[in-house]
């Protein structure tokens, strides 16, 4: 499925500090560690982030987003070898000459909303030492035909091209995945899709999608995902929704009789990947949609003899109580329903 | 390009762990869904009996513009329960992946084909419009998928639901699957996407591009695990990427969505 290894650029830190200028240094360092541990090849930062971190952790590799030439000195001091910049700055000869002298790899940022804009993209003349382009946007790319346009453009210009898809129309992860499957040079994402005007492709969705669909011989695990989620919440104050794909705390909760029966026999009947892959575990709820077998299982779990009860009658009581509460029942509520 | 929305908030949405609706709330929500110009409301599972069945039976009395459908296994007993509720459409869900057929049901492919034929005939003989769901289609052998669809088609089913039950599809593959079905058989295709890898909306748009005319959604995208295709997000994506639904009052729809989600929230 993958032709060449696509580098993953994670821009969570940059987006966090832009929106939360008071973000704590220790929280940012934890995020660094977590994102690198998950597999990010480059963490994108800017001078604001660098100012907070002060010293960069040695185990992570960084991409510095440059706004002006004076920011390059800090790159040299900190050993940062890669930078990103808006195409407008290509006209800044001092800046471009400094990049060349420092031997840095420069990613030039352009924008295209869809295939039409991509095919009409005006790429400014690139200095010979600049061989990376990053295209932001593609929000309106409705299918994978954009890939061929990018590949043709890359051949035409003799550069490597990657993307940073926007999530205005809820397809950023799909587009990022297409980039990885096509073996494009790089793809830029952020954790939980944090940032951008309408969100970005989600780091965790792309990583787990590749793991689930690619089925490699050596299995990666993403046990650190819950910890990284907490880091992001701590640094930004945002709450990760319970049903957020891959990292939501409720995504492995189940109740419906048919699903529960399937999961008991073979979890893969109703799970795309095991909860352990993403550092979570399964939880069975008892409620309106439960079946007989789930009730029996719960009784055993609570240490209550099944033989005393007529399962259908008990199921009916549980369903009634669940409808009254408009949710599933807690263990103590199940005991009350049973009369224990 | 005509896209019709099949809302499954009251069935797949309600299957989200910890969600439980009584008769009064289901009827309130059905009225609100009707105001969203939903083509079809999948009302629930009559075979569950009790208050679930009663609420579905009462839905007919509301005089809704939306068509009412019920969800059934390929089991004549389920159809009898549905018949009591007099829906517009009886939806039959057939497992089509070997994982589901063998591991969940301990059956084989022939059993599925025989029971698809039997239950479609049973429902048709009772005068119902029947749609066939292909559960776990995204992990099924494509040739067997076509066999199942053809079996149903010969018995008079002209709409199938392609279900990406565990949400593992991506756009390119989905497009190829849906197009492949439409190239082989003259059936209408309904797309049922799950959001496990964050691509339910993107996949639903891809399904429309491949010729699917019906898209399954839920309010707020609620459903099993990471949920289903989010109704409002799908409308926004369809407006922005396909140039449809431009006459929709999104603000009013958002308010109705919030009202429905408030009804579904647990009692204090």
Residue A312 in tokens: 């259908």
pTM beyond 0.90: yes
Residue A42 in tokens: 């480059």
Tell me if A272 and B198 make a contact (CB, 8 A cut-off): no
- What is the pLDDT of chain A when averaged over all its residues? 92
Three-state secondary structure call for residue A213: helix
Res. A217: pLDDT tops 50: no
Residue A287 in tokens: 């409620």
Res. A305: pLDDT tops 80: no
Nearest 5°: the CA angle A267, A261, B7 is 90
Three-state secondary structure call for residue B6: strand
Identify the residue among A115, A168, A171, A253 best suited for mutation to test binding to B, counting B beta carbons within 10 A and taking the highest: A171
- What is the pLDDT of chain B when averaged over all its residues? 96
pLDDT grade for A1, boundaries at 50, 70 and 90:
very low
Helix, strand, coil percentages (3-state) for chain A, rounded to 5, are: 45, 15, 40
For residue range B36-73, list pLDDT tens digits in order. 989 999 999 999 999 999 999 999 899 999 999 999 99
Res. A308: pLDDT tops 70: no
For residue range B167-221, list pLDDT tens digits in order. 999 999 999 999 999 999 999 999 999 999 999 999 999 999 999 999 999 999 9
pLDDT grade for A309, boundaries at 50, 70 and 90:
low
CA distance A74 to A83: 11
How confident is the model at residue A340, as a pLDDT? 66
- Cβ-Cβ contacts under 8 Å, B14 against chain A: 288-289
For residue range B155-167, list pLDDT tens digits in order. 999 999 999 999 9
**B122 CB contacts (<8 Å, ≥6 apart)?**
B76, B79
Q: Is A143 on the interface with B (CB under 8 A)?
A: yes
For residue range A195-205, list pLDDT tens digits in order. 999 999 999 99
Res. B224: pLDDT tops 50: yes
Candidates A166, A249, A163; CA nearest to A202 is: A166
Q: Which of residues A256 and B88 earns the better pLDDT score?
A: B88
Identify the residue among A272, A286, A292, A333 best suited for mutation to test binding to B, counting B beta carbons within 10 A and taking the highest: A272
Q: What is the largest CA-CA distance in chain B?
A: 52
Give B68 to chain A, closest Cα distance, Å.
20
From the list A139, A144, A245, which residue is nearest B197 (CB)?
A245
| Strand residues in chain B grouped as ranges (E) | 4-7, 40-44, 67-73, 89-95, 129-135, 159-164, 188-193, 214-217
Q: Region B151-158: what's the mean pLDDT?
A: 96
For every residue of B120-134, DSSP letters joined together read HHHHHHTT-EEEEEE
Helix, strand, coil percentages (3-state) for chain B, rounded to 5, are: 50, 20, 30
CA distance A124 to A136: 16
Among A51-55, A290-294, A319-323, B181-185, the minimum mean pLDDT is found in: A290-294
Tokens 């990885």 identify what position?
Answer: A180
For residue range A126-177, list pLDDT tens digits in order. 888 888 999 999 999 999 999 999 999 999 999 999 999 999 999 999 999 9
How confident is the model at residue A2, as a pLDDT? 44
Candidates B177, B141, B143, B150; CA nearest to B162 is: B177
Q: Phi and psi for A289 in degrees, rounded to 5?
A: -95, 5
How confident is the model at residue A314, as a pLDDT? 86
ipTM greater than cut 0.85: yes
Tell me if A272 and B167 make a contact (CB, 8 A cut-off): yes
Res. A86: pLDDT tops 60: yes
For residue range A228-268, list pLDDT tens digits in order. 999 999 999 999 999 999 999 999 999 988 888 898 889 99
From the list B50, B236, B242, which residue is nearest A316 (CB)?
B50
Q: Region B20-46: what's the mean pLDDT?
A: 96
Res. A216: pLDDT tops 70: no
């Amino acid at each position: 499925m993958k032709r060449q290894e696509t580098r993953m650029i994670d821009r969570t830190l940059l987006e966090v500090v832009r929106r939360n200028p008071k973000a704590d240094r220790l929280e940012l360092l934890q995020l660094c560690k977590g994102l690198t541990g998950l597999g990010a090849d480059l963490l994108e930062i800017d001078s604001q982030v660098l100012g907070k971190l002060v010293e960069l952790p040695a185990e992570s590799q960084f991409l510095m987003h440059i706004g002006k030439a004076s920011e390059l000195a800090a790159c040299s001091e900190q050993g940062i070898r890669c930078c990103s910049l808006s195409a407008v700055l290509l006209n800044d000869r001092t800046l471009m000459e400094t990049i060349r002298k420092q031997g840095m790899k420069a990613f030039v940022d352009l924008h295209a909303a869809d295939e039409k804009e991509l095919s009409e993209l005006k790429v400014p003349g690139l200095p010979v030492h600049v061989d990376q382009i990053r295209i932001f946007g593609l929000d309106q790319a409705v299918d994978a035909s954009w890939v061929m346009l990018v590949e043709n453009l890359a051949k035409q210009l003799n550069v490597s091209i990657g993307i940073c898809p926007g999530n205005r129309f809820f397809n950023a992860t799909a587009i990022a995945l297409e980039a990885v499957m096509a073996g494009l040079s790089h793809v830029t994402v952020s954790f939980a899709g944090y940032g951008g005007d309408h969100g970005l492709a989600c780091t965790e969705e792309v990583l787990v999608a590749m793991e689930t669909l690619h089925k490699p011989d050596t299995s990666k695990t993403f046990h650190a995902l819950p910890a990284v989620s907490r880091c992001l919440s701590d640094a930004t104050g945002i709450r990760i929704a319970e049903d957020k794909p891959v990292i939501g705390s409720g995504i492995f909760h189940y109740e419906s009789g048919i699903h529960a029966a399937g999961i008991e026999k073979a979890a893969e009947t109703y799970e795309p990947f095991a909860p352990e892959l993403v550092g979570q575990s399964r939880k069975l709820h008892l409620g309106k949609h439960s079946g007989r077998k789930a009730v029996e299982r719960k009784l055993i779990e609570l240490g209550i003899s099944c033989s005393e009860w007529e399962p259908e009658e008990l199921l009916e009581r549980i369903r009634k109580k669940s409808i009254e509460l408009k949710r599933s029942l807690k263990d103590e509520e199940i005991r009350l329903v049973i009369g224990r | 390009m005509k896209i019709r929305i099949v809302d499954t908030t009251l069935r797949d949405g309600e299957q989200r762990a910890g969600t439980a609706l009584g008769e009064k709330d289901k009827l309130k929500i059905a009225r609100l869904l009707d105001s969203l110009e939903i083509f079809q409301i999948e009302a629930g599972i009559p075979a569950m009996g009790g208050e679930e069945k009663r609420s579905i039976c009462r839905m007919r009395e509301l005089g809704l513009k939306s068509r009412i459908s019920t969800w059934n296994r390929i089991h004549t007993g389920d159809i009898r329960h549905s018949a009591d509720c007099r829906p517009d459409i009886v939806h039959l869900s057939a497992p089509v992946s070997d994982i589901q057929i063998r591991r969940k049901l301990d059956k084989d492919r022939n059993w599925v084909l025989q029971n698809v034929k039997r239950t479609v005939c049973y429902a048709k003989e009772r005068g119902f419009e029947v749609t066939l769901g292909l559960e776990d289609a995204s992990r099924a052998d494509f040739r067997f998928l076509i066999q199942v669809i053809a079996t149903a088609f010969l018995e008079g089913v002209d709409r199938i639901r392609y279900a990406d039950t565990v949400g593992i599809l991506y756009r390119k593959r989905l497009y190829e699957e849906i197009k492949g079905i439409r190239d082989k058989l003259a059936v209408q295709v309904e797309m049922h996407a799950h959001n496990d890898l964050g691509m339910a909306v993107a996949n639903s748009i891809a399904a429309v591009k491949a010729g699917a005319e019906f898209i399954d959604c839920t309010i707020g995208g609620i459903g099993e695990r990471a949920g289903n295709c989010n109704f409002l997000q799908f409308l926004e994506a369809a407006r922005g990427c396909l140039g449809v639904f431009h006459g929709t009052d999104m603000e009013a729809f958002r308010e109705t969505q919030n009202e429905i989600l408030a009804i579904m929230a647990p009692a204090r």
